[in-house]
Amino acid sequence: MATDSNYYVPEESRLPVLTAMSLGLMALGSGLWLNDGGSGVLLVGTAVLVSVMYIWFRTVIRENIAGMNSDQLKRSYVWGMSWFIFSEVMFFAVFFGALFYIRTLALPWLGGEGDKSDMIHLVWPEFTAQWPLMETPAQAAGSDEFVGPGQNLSFPGWDKLMGWLPLWNTIVLLTSSVTCHFAHHAMKHDDRKKFNIWLGVTVLLGFIFLVLQYEEYHHAYTEMGLTLESGIYGSTFFMLTGFHGFHVTMGTFMLLIQLIRGLKGHFSSDDQFGFEASSWYWHFVDVVWVGLFLFVYVLA
Amino acid sequence: MAHGPAKGIGRWLFATNHKDIGTMYLWFSFAMFILGGSFAMIIRAELFAPGMQLVKPEFFNQMTTMHGLVMVFGAIMPSFVGLANWMIPLQIGAPDMALPRMNNLSFWILPFGFALLASTLFMEGGAPNFGWTFYAPLSTTYAPDTVNFFIFGVHIIGASSIMGAINIIATVLNLRAPGMTMMKLPLFVWTWLITAFLLVAVMPVLAGVVTMMLMDINFGTSFFDAAGGGDPVLFQHIFWFFGHPEVYIIILPAFGVVSAIIPAFSRKPLFGYSSMVYATSAIAFLSFIVWAHHMFTTGMPIAGELYFMYATMLIAVPTGVKVFNWIATMFQGSLSFETPMLFAIAFVILFTFGGFTGLMLAVAPADIQYHDSYFVVGHFHYVMVAGAVFSMTAAVYYWLPKWSGRMYDETMGKVQFWVAFIGFNIAFIPQHFLGLAGMPRRYADYALQFTDWNMVSSIGAFMYGAAQLMFLYNVIRTIVAGEPTNVEKTWEGAEGLEWTVATPAPFHTFSTPPEVK
Amino acid sequence: MPQGVTGVSNDIYDLHMTVVWICVWISVVVYGVMFYSMFAHRKSKGYKAANFHESTTVELLWTILPVLILVWVAFPSTKSLIELYDTSEADIDIKVTGYQWKWQYEYLGEGVEFMSELTTSESSIYNESPKTEYYLTEVNEPLVLPIGKKIRFLLTAKDVIHAWWVPDLGVKRDAVPGFINETWAKIDEPGIYRGFCAELCGKGHAFMPVVVNAVTEDEYQKWLADKKVAAAAEREMAKQTFTLEQLMVKGEAAYNRSCAACHMANGEGIPGAFPGLKGSAIALGPVDKHLDSVVNGVSGTAMQAFGGQLSEVDLAAIITYERNAWGNDVGDMVQPLDVLKFKQGQ
Ligand code: HEA
Ligand code: HEA
Ligand code: CUA
Ligand SMILES: [Cu+2]
């Protein structure tokens, strides 16, 4: 039934309701965990989710290989993935938006600049706005509620350029996007060997990025006194880079799966959606990083 | 794939059939409506007279919050998703939704999500008590510990909405029968397509803002705390960037339903189809750039106030186009007034009224007086109850025969309509007066000058509540004992593919797509 | 909507009326046409449906007309909004601080500040005693303002967001913790004007009314002078030492006013929301820790810093009370002077 005129409606399936249940467990579990009720439920939920997801994707792949997917269904998958990525874009937009609002409006107001009350000194007599925010209003008022970062990760100046991790991260990630594209190109010409090599390289680069990112965080926490708690700079910095890092992890994992599939001999020049979807995701993660590099690291 | 439904509970748990999933959505949302309504009844009973009679203020706040959350996320949104599941494939000649398994997932997340949300009522610290808009820092630093469950609940419910929306988009863009061009789509499909786009765009924003709350509460960030360089008002900007499109997510499908019913009972094609499509898109676009009209008293710089005032006023224009088109459709039609039509007409009348009060709120200086008063409560119940709920009721009466193969009882339908219509107005018109007289919203108790209108409002609310019980009765009675019918075209004037399939609609329809010329 | 007693409130009232009438007229037209066709074009009368379903001209017409109407509304709105935002050249500055659940008023430059709290009794709220005329709109001390002067309000809050609303003054502004919002009023007639807190701020949201007492210039000056004297006396009192009994009596009163809302009169708090003090580590622990959490609050929790809210006497009394009530039996006491020292010590 792989013709346009006859859409494939799958049989009843146990997978979705199990997934829903596992998500429910995870939500409940996370709450319990934070309200110190132990992490048991969370772990169980996650375990179930992972295994169900594994089976689910395996099923879909099998169906595809069995030729049950009409071109129309494949188009549905394409739409699905594209709109999912769009929703991810909006998710990151929130944190970028917050960053801009804080930098251009909130902080100046707190420092008595901008078109808001000039009497703000009634609340924060000592505070002056700056970015990156090294001294929080609380600090200026002599409280230790929020302590600004010791140092920040902004552009250190040309002399220190070479030792500046974010730069290397950028180079690594941009290259990975290119190699990913090469892999795609190779598969389009049924050149499986090249495909596997380029994809392998991409996965490796992704992994390297994560290592560097971990390095940066470690450095920030241990030596720079830059943590989630260090005022709004720490908050925005770790929120943005953290969520990005998480997405890179996902992306690398997805590409890894595709690599395994490639080695298994899946995909062909006209059918490679699994890989394409992952690669779109990868390019998206890449673009986000460019935004981060500009607005979190450079223009500060 | 010519197999019928599986037997027993498996049919529902493992469903991939758009009709079954639609049915589940509809029943789930009605259950939530009853729940949220019961909360509302507690609110109204407490407000019947000054002084605290039934509940304590802290519990009253939980009622208000849960009422808002359950009604918006549990009753209205799922109800229209259910309708979409049932009708969109039928209206575009598709065999099913584009991604049936994900469809099932989107549904089954909801019971878990709302079970989690409702369970907080019985936990130490109680349910969310910071309003359905959960402004920081009341919802962060000053919130009960249970707020974490609320946050994760919102996360998975949001995920459900996003998947549901993606599914609808994929279906409409990809599964249309040959010849069913975009400009031939029934308006219900159009409005849902645009709604789905809004959902995909703003649900992640909601997820983002609750995540920030989560970090502020548990991991020492300071997004919404000036002491660390953050700003509580930042929360409001992000929330309303989600929140305002959200209200159009609620109303656009309702527009679609009304645009289907009014022509049917006017026996006359919808007036200005294309202008309807453009108007809907315009509303969707504008909904992204007006959010801060909810924040006129937060002390925004005047430039912001002016911009958001003008932008908000503009929304009256495309919405007006829709209203005028509906009336032009009725004009010189051959009208008959069965229950669905009654609700549809009531929708036009009352929604327009709610729109007018909305426009008054949009006038920033005047909103200084209206804001957070019962006038606002009056406004949004006119657009959401008389808007969304009335059109949903109309939709059920309109399509129930097609779904169940049985006809509802016309007189009982009409009786329910009049009880609902009268009860509704008795309940919510007084709230405008209360607001103008100076009664703030979210008040567990009030000064004596507000007593009379509150009493009236409560009485109306109970009446309207009773109407909902009648509705429940009508629907169940129709399904079990209604007059059997098997005419494809239940309504003389009805148009659309859904009326070309057998009645009751078979388990599988359009396995081979119809030709649309 | 009240017409109010300020220029702004009057403008708002007129604006309100204009828009109402515009909406009324539009409804007359819209509903008119609708009811006409509902009456005239019904099937039961055998009316045959026409079949027109498009007309670009009318579409344009009913797009442009509303736009024009809206432009018409926009002008007066813009005008009064600008007026409403002009807080320049104020004669008097008053800092309004929202607390859960009371208002603090500070006359900047005058050294006068006080708390304004609801005086309606629990018993009348819970219907055990009758409700008086100003049920829920009566406070221990209203905000006293002179008429005919431009008064600038500087709003902020110490805990959550509140909103200071007095309909008759045409003033509503959010009090946002950590920020200052400005608004103003110039009152035309003397009188007592009552308002409310308009932003959900917790369980006491409905119980923190605003009462403004507008008086003539001389009455205002006189009142201000008296306040200054009283403030001085207050500071004097802080130098005395009290007996445990005195402190316990004062303490119970002050505790029930300022602390019982969360920690409950029986000191047991609300599980899951507010900690109890009965037998708590703080109340039984070292005095300084106890002083610290009361005077400076506990950051990241709902516990506010009461140092700026209460007099030394009340602080001392409350702490002493907490350490020796509900079976807590530390036995020691805290004198106003100790509090003063503690405050200066940091
Ligand atoms: C279904 C949901 C829905 C809909 C459709 C609307 C529609 C509108 N709403 Fe409403 N609104 C809410 C749900 C909705 N709202 C909710 C839930 C809140 C409260 C949230 C909270 O705080 O809890 C709210 C609050 C709210 C506020 C904030 C009030 C405050 O808190 O101070 C404002 C202010 O501008 C506003 C404005 C509008 C406007 C201008 C429209 C317009 O779209 C209306 C347009 C329609 C018409 C104008 C009528 C038809 C038009 C004509 C007949 C043409 C001719 C008319 C003219 C030229 C005037 N709404
Ligand atoms: C679409 C959403 C929706 C719907 C359908 C409703 C429906 C109703 N709402 Fe409300 N409401 C909101 C969305 C909605 N609401 C929101 C978003 C808020 C703001 C919350 C906040 O401030 O944070 C709000 C707030 C709100 C308030 C203000 C609370 C406050 O400020 O403290 C009130 C008060 O009267 C109210 C009343 C009602 C009533 C009487 C109904 C009725 O229509 C309900 C009718 C239904 C039933 C009654 C259920 C069916 C019958 C039974 C359960 C049997 C029992 C019946 C009897 C005993 C008669 N709602
Ligand atoms: Cu303070 Cu509401
Ligand atoms: Cu809005």
Output the DSSP codes for B164-186.
HHHHHHHHHHH-PPTT--GGGS-
Q: Do C178 and A110 touch (CB under 8 A)?
A: yes
Say if residue A7's pLDDT is above 80: no
Q: Measured between alpha carbons, how far is B297 from C206 in angstroms, rounded to an integer?
A: 19
C51 C-alpha vs ligand 4 centroid, how far in Å? 37
Query: Higher-confidence residue: A135 or C1?
Result: A135
Ligand number nearest CA of C165 is: 3
- pLDDT bin (cut points 50, 70, 90) of residue A12 is confident
Q: Measured between alpha carbons, how far is C184 from C193 in angstroms, rounded to an integer?
A: 15
Residues 6+ apart with CB under 8 A from B378: B357, B428, B429, B431, B432, B434, B435
Q: How far is C153 from chain B (nearest CA, A)?
A: 12
In one-letter notation, the amino acid at residue C12 is: I
Residues 6+ apart with CB under 8 A from A115: B301, B302, B303
Cβ C160 vs Cβ B359: under 8 Å:
no
Annotated active-site residue B310? The verdict is: no
What subunits touch chain C, counting only 3 or more CB pairs under 8 A? A, B
Contact with chain A for residue C300, Cβ under 8 A: yes
What subunits touch chain B, counting only 3 or more CB pairs under 8 A? A, C
Both tokens of B132, joined, read 């359905």
Annotated active-site residue B11? The verdict is: no
The dihedral sign for the CA sequence B330, B331, B336, B342: positive
A42-64: average pLDDT: 92
Cβ C129 vs Cβ C123: under 8 Å:
yes
What is the structure's pLDDT at A9? 67
What is the structure's pLDDT at B125? 85
**B88 pocket-lining for ligand 1 (C-beta < 6 Å):** no
What is the structure's pLDDT at C11? 92
- Selection from B404, B356, B378 nearest residue B505 by Cα: B404
Q: Which residues of chain B are under the pLDDT cut of 50?
A: 1-2
DSSP conformational letter for B48? T
What is the structure's pLDDT at A5? 45
Here the ipTM equals: 0.91
A194-219: average pLDDT: 94
A189-196: average pLDDT: 90
**Helical H runs in B49-126?**
57-69, 77-92, 100-119
Per-residue pLDDT of chain C (346 residues; tens, 9 = 90+): 888 888 899 999 999 999 999 999 999 999 999 999 998 888 888 888 788 888 888 888 899 999 999 999 999 999 999 999 999 889 999 999 999 989 999 999 888 889 999 999 888 999 998 999 999 999 999 999 999 999 999 999 999 999 999 999 999 999 999 999 999 999 999 999 999 999 999 999 999 999 999 999 999 999 999 998 888 887 777 778 888 888 888 888 888 888 887 888 888 888 777 888 888 888 888 888 888 888 888 876 778 888 777 888 888 888 888 888 888 888 888 888 888 888 777 6
What subunits touch chain A, counting only 3 or more CB pairs under 8 A? B, C
**Planar angle of CA B417, B423, B425, nearest 5 degrees:** 105
Query: Measured between CB atoms, which of B232, B269, B445 is closest to C176?
Result: B232
Looking at ligand 1, which residue's alpha carbon is closest to its atom 13?
B380
In one-letter notation, the amino acid at residue A199 is: L
- pLDDT bin (cut points 50, 70, 90) of residue A8 is low
Query: In the beta sheet, which residues pair with residue C163?
Result: C174
The ligand 1 atom nearest the CA atom of B131 = 23
Of the candidates B192, B240, B248, B491, the residue annotated as catalytic is B248
Query: Measured between CB atoms, which of B226, B232, B267 is closest to C49?
Result: B267
- pTM as predicted: 0.93
Q: Tell me the three-class secondary structure of A259-281, residue by residue.
A: HHHHHHCCCECCECHHHHHHHHH
**C199 pocket-lining for ligand 3 (C-beta < 6 Å):** yes
Contact with chain B for residue C175, Cβ under 8 A: no
**CA nearest to C209 within chain B:** B447
Q: How far is CA C117 from CA B2, C134, C211, in A?
A: 72, 14, 10
**B402 pocket-lining for ligand 1 (C-beta < 6 Å):** no
Ligand number nearest CA of B62 is: 2
Looking at ligand 3, which residue's alpha carbon is closest to its atom 1?
C162
Cβ B301 vs Cβ C73: under 8 Å:
no
Looking at ligand 1, which residue's alpha carbon is closest to its atom 21?
B133
Ligand number nearest CA of B142 is: 3
Q: Do C58 and B328 touch (CB under 8 A)?
A: yes
Taking the CA atoms of chain C, what radius of gyration do you get in angstroms? 28
C173 C-alpha vs ligand 2 centroid, how far in Å? 27
Q: Do A145 and C154 touch (CB under 8 A)?
A: no
- Selection from C333, C320, C304, C314 nearest residue C99 by Cα: C304
**B186 pocket-lining for ligand 1 (C-beta < 6 Å):** no
The length of chain C, given as a count of residues: 346
What is the structure's pLDDT at B360? 96
What is the structure's pLDDT at B3? 58
Q: Measured between alpha carbons, how far is B178 from B171 in angstroms, rounded to an integer?
A: 14
The ligand 3 atom nearest the CA atom of C98 = 1
Residue C209: its chain B contacts at CB < 8 A?
Answer: 447
Q: Do B155 and A27 touch (CB under 8 A)?
A: yes
Residues 6+ apart with CB under 8 A from C234: C311, C313
